[in-house]
Amino acid sequence: MNTSRRILLAGMAGLAVAPTTVAAAPALAIGDVTVAEERFARMIAAAHAPDVTSARQAERYADVHWPDYVVAARAVLDARA
C-alpha cells in the first residue's frame, strides 16, 4: 500500500470516529500517549492537512497538530482490538 493511500485511509478512519469522541474527551497530557497512538495521530493529522500539495507540507502540519488527533487515534486503535 503506498503512502498516500495509507494516509487517506487513516484520515477517513479518524474522521469517522473523531466527531463523537473529541466532544467528550478531556484534555490529555502528551506524556500519556503511546508510540502507536502518536504515529496514528500524526497520520490522521497529515490526512486532514489543508492545502496540501506535497507530502512534506502534510508532514509539517502533522508535526504541529498531531495532539489534536490523539483521541481519534485512540478510538480507532481501541476499535481494532
- Looking at per-residue confidence, does 53 or 7 come out higher? 53
The pTM score is 0.63
pLDDT of residue 56: 85
pLDDT of residue 2: 55
pLDDT at 7 over 80: no
The tens digit of pLDDT for each residue in 30-77 reads: 678 888 889 989 988 888 888 767 788 888 998 998 888 888 888 888
Distance between start and end Cα atoms, the chain: 22
